[in-house]
Amino acid sequence: MKFIKIIIFIGLTCCIFKAQAQKEIYPEAEAIAVRAKQALNAGNVSTANSLIKLSIDLYPNYGVIDYITEMAELSDVSGANRIMEALKEKIKSMPDKMILIPDYIDPFEGDIYDQPLNLTEKNRALFNYLELFYDINVNHANRAYILSSMKAMQEPVIQKKTGAADDDREYSTQLLFKVKTAKFEKNFEMAHHILDSLASTLNIKDHRISLLYDQGEYQKAFDLWQTLPKKEELKKHERAWPFKMSAGLGDKKALEYFDNLKAFDKDDLLFFILAQFYFKQKDYNDALQNLEAAEARRIGGVYFTGAPISLWDLHKAYGDIYTGLKQYSKARDHYNLSLLYYPGFKDAAEALENMEQIAGIETNTDRSAPIIVLTEPAPSRGIKVIAAGASFMVRGIATDPSGIKEVLVNGSKMFVQPSGEFWGDITVVTGLNKLIIQATDMASNKGEKAFEVQVSISAAPSEIIAATDYKGQNYCLLIAAQNYKDIEITSLDKPIGDAIKLKKVLRESYGFLPENILSLFNPTTTDIKRQLLEISTKLKPEDNLLIFYAGHGITKDAKGYWLMTDAIYRDPSTWFP
């Protein structure tokens, strides 16, 4: 008996010494990760890469998570996932059965980085890291990375603790992520089967309601929801159920439920559902307004449902609404964006095909001329222009269901966006000038409108009196291709660092707003196409766009190409023209 006590004592002593040693190493590793992030933000990418590798090798820590998040926010999603993989493999290779991690806390309830450290069973610790990887990817990555993260969360073998499974966070979360993964893949039959298998282990009624709702079985979800016991204190998602059920069923009482929700409850998902409600009512303008509100909350990080709306669903919804508004060019752009985010999205592909058929019929039967509105100078307030030289800017909007092919002002071709907005410089003389605006739609119908403008030529900078006040914004797209997949294309050292330094200069010296500086680090060709299309849907005539590219380029047949990170040297079809 004494011998057993001695062995137990020695074992406990070894565990205490090991825990103490880990508690000394962890903050050292975390401090190195902090230095890596500082180097990254200063544009010293090589130093940052060396430091983060050193941090991981020393000991897994949440400072690496912060660094990975920063990389993802810089749009280097592939780089962020490479580091995730390195951290994951480090944890799996550790001989210790217990490793040190901060206590779990819901990110909405506190700072995950500011929690006490505790020794945790290695597989559970790994699961916590994998869950954080999923959170990063769901906010920044494409569908493939998100799905990969969800499946990785099933890898650690987690044994249930004694007691109720609902009280075992890692065990119950891993089980429910199996359901979430099946839902994500639209395999609702599998999701129900998994829930059935969990009925004896977890309280699944809430999850069944959510599954039925996501499946579009609103009446079944509502009937099951009615059987839940009434509570005095409801959680956020429980307070939203009456609105969600009513909106799904097309009941106008949904509007009352929505108004009664707390402002804090109204996240991106609820505005998205409200937009869908208005869309089903064919109230397309209110649908558009609420979808824009959903997108604004998504960009601002206002989502409390565990994940933001997927960008493929968001753009598909925009496509649906613009189809309803008969703005087919905008609808086409958003459907294509949806398919760039999720190439296999059947709903978006079918909606695009249906929209093209509708637009084709409208074009063939369209006999009406485009409607022309002059926005600058503003005709409603009397037009008098003082120009700095012999030309000034004309802006306006031409609209037609079939779309606008061309706009001319006094015979000069204007720049025209898919939305019908047009602008361009025209030549003028001192005195009275007549503006003749001609717009041609896709069905070759022509519309014409004439305006008279009194012009005074001045040496001073151009001033438009009685015109709408346009304040343009400065945008920048930073593209840095550094790590190439094809071994025949040499990877580079400087592009990302140069782009980060330029970003700092634009913010500090030129007044660019942080949200207007878009980054694509180590992008694929699809990433570039998606981002350029996305920018084109947002730019206004008065805005400026600066594009910076650092990476390999190549010429063929007197034509230049950029090489993104997925380019194949011997395959010109993979080059970006």
- CB 560, CB 553: distance < 8 Å: yes
Q: How many CB atoms neighbour CB 106 within 10 A? A: 7
Q: Same domain, yes or no, for 438 and 348?
A: no
- C-alpha–C-alpha distance, residues 482 and 491, integer Å: 6
Residue 481 DSSP label? -
Label residue 39 by pLDDT band (50, 70, 90): very high
27 pLDDT higher than 60: yes
Residue 296 lies in a domain: no
Of 516, 518, 572, the closest CA to residue 549 belongs to 518
Based on the domain organization, do 525 and 564 belong to the same domain?
yes
Assigned domain for 199 exists: no
Has residue 551 got a pLDDT over 80? yes
Where a domain ends, among 365, 400, 435? 365
Band (pLDDT 50/70/90 cuts) for residue 9 is very low
pLDDT of residue 363: 76
Are 456 and 481 members of one domain?
no
Does residue 74 share a domain with residue 152? yes
Mean pLDDT of 358-376: 84
Tokens found for residue 8:
């137990």
pLDDT of 81-110, one tens digit each?
A: 999 999 999 999 999 899 999 988 776 667
Q: In the predicted model, what is the mean pLDDT of the chain?
A: 86
R_g (Cα) of the chain, nearest Å = 29
Among 300, 334, 365, the domain boundary falls at 365
The residues that bridge with 435 in the sheet, in sequence order, are 451
Q: What is the pLDDT of residue 471?
A: 65
pLDDT at residue 571 in the model = 95
Q: Which of 435, 465, 495 is the last residue of a domain?
A: 465
Q: Are residues 420 and 546 in the same domain?
A: no
477 strand-pairing partners = 518, 547
Maximum Cα interatomic distance, the chain, rounded to a whole number of Å: 112
Write the CATH number for 456: 2.60.40.10
Query: What is the per-residue pLDDT for 538?
Result: 81
Are 109 and 50 in a shared domain?
Answer: yes
Domain carrying residue 497 = 474-574
109-144 pLDDT, tens digit per residue, is 678 888 899 999 999 999 999 999 999 999 888 899
159, 168 contact by CB (below 8 A) = no
Whether residue 376 sits in one domain with residue 335: no
394 has pLDDT over 80 = yes
Q: How far apart are CA 394 and CA 399, in angstroms?
A: 16
Contact by Cβ (8 Å): 548, 528: no
**Structural domain includes residue 53:** yes
CA–CA gap between residue 422 and residue 415 (Å, rounded): 5
- 335 and 405: one domain? no
* Mean pLDDT in residue range 155-168: 83
Q: What is the pLDDT of residue 384?
A: 52
Q: Averaged over 371-375, what is the pLDDT?
A: 87
Is there a domain that residue 270 lies in? no
Q: Quick one: 16 and 121 in the same domain? A: yes
Pair (359, 378) in one structural domain: no
d(C-alpha 575, C-alpha 563), whole Å = 5
pLDDT, position 1? 53
pLDDT digits (tens, 9 = 90+) for 229-273: 877 666 767 788 889 999 999 999 999 999 998 887 888 999 999
Structure token digits, residue 388: 């700095």
* Same domain? 56 vs 136: yes
What's the rounded Cα separation, in Å, for the pair 42 and 191?
46
Task: Report the alpha-carbon distance of residue 339 to residue 145 in Å, rounded.
Answer: 16
Give the sign of the dihedral formed by CA 347, CA 350, CA 353, CA 355: negative
Mean pLDDT of 452-479: 65
Residues 527 and 429 in one domain: no
Whether 317 shows a pLDDT value over 90: the answer reads: yes
Looking at the domain assignment, is residue 15 inside a domain?
yes
Return the H-helix or E-strand segment holding 404. strand 404-409
Q: What is the pLDDT of residue 113?
A: 80
Is 533 inside a domain boundary?
A: yes
451: exposed, middle or buried (Cβ count in 10 Å: 0-12, 13-18, 19+):
middle
pLDDT of residue 380: 45
Structure confidence at residue 485 (pLDDT): 93
Structure tokens at 456: 């005074």
